[in-house]
Amino acid sequence: MKKSDLKNYIRENILSTLSESIEDETAALEDYEAKLDDVIKKKQEAGIEEQVDKFNVDVFGYKTKYYKVCPGAKAFMDKVMDGAYGDMSQKQNEVIRIAKLHDLLFIRELRALKDPKYAMSVIPQAEYIAEEIKDNVQFLGIPVADVDYVDNHVEIIKDAAKKINEEDEPSDSDIRKNKSLAKTAEDLALIQADMRSLARKYSKAKGEEKEELLNKLKEKTKLKKELENILDKKL
């Protein structure tokens, strides 16, 4: 297996589950979407359609949805699409994933600001998504510091969770679920780190060692998928 093929194999498996859940998460915001659509319709009727889309970006055909939450995200994605980080025409899938992961984080922030209990339950997800954004950005050779703003959005969600009144504190079962989610997300992050380390070793290995490392990567990939499935069922 070529080095480039191996990298693509690893990245596809690491990111496939979370990045493709954008439609499911959007469906959970039907009330919010209905209000947003009504606002958009009124603006269009008033002849200011161009203003409606000023917050979002067309990323190789994927139109972002919630970038009004973060002007910094729009500025970053505009730079990516303008070629400030180099030609991304051969890395469209990776760039689209980054755009979707931002939307996934911003969707959770919008819901968290409306519902402290939801904010409490979604913290492990938000932390995981933020790390995925950074990993994807680094994979493309873009400075991770350019997306440091995602940490602030995680903090906003954490602050929203603090607004739960004493009488509305999470139940023991909620606490156990959150701890379980956090542990699973932590285990998944460790597996991903191991896979990146193995991939680096694989690129330099030869002969039997190379084959042994490839088998380890396949085992890690299987375990990673199991952890992702657990997260999906608990989210």
Contacts of residue 137, defined as CB under 8 A and 6 or more positions apart, other chains included, come to 98, 143, 144, 146, 147
What pLDDT is recorded for position 19? Answer: 44
Give this prediction's pTM: 0.56
pLDDT given at position 7: 45
Going from N- to C-terminal start, the domains of the chain cover 3-230
Q: Which residue has the higher pLDDT, 29 or 58?
A: 58
pLDDT category, 17, cuts 50, 70, 90?
very low
- What would the pLDDT profile of 89-101 be if each residue is shown by its tens digit? 999 999 999 999 9
Tokens 């992050």 appear where?
A: 189
Q: What are phi and psi of 38, to 5 degrees?
A: -65, -40
Task: For 97-118, give one letter per residue: b (16+ CB within 10 A) or e.
Answer: bbbbbbbbbbbbbebbbebbbb
What is the pLDDT, as a whole number, of residue 25?
52
On whether the CB atoms of residues 25 and 107 are closer than 8 A, the answer is yes
Q: What number is the average pLDDT over the span 181-199?
A: 74
More confident residue, 7 or 222: 222
Query: 3-state class of 62 per DSSP?
Result: strand
Backbone angles phi, psi at 82, to 5 degrees: -85, -5
Distance CA 217, CA 212 (A): 9
Task: Work out the average pLDDT over 167-177.
Answer: 57
pLDDT in tens, 31-79: 545 555 565 566 566 655 444 468 899 999 999 999 998 999 999 999 9
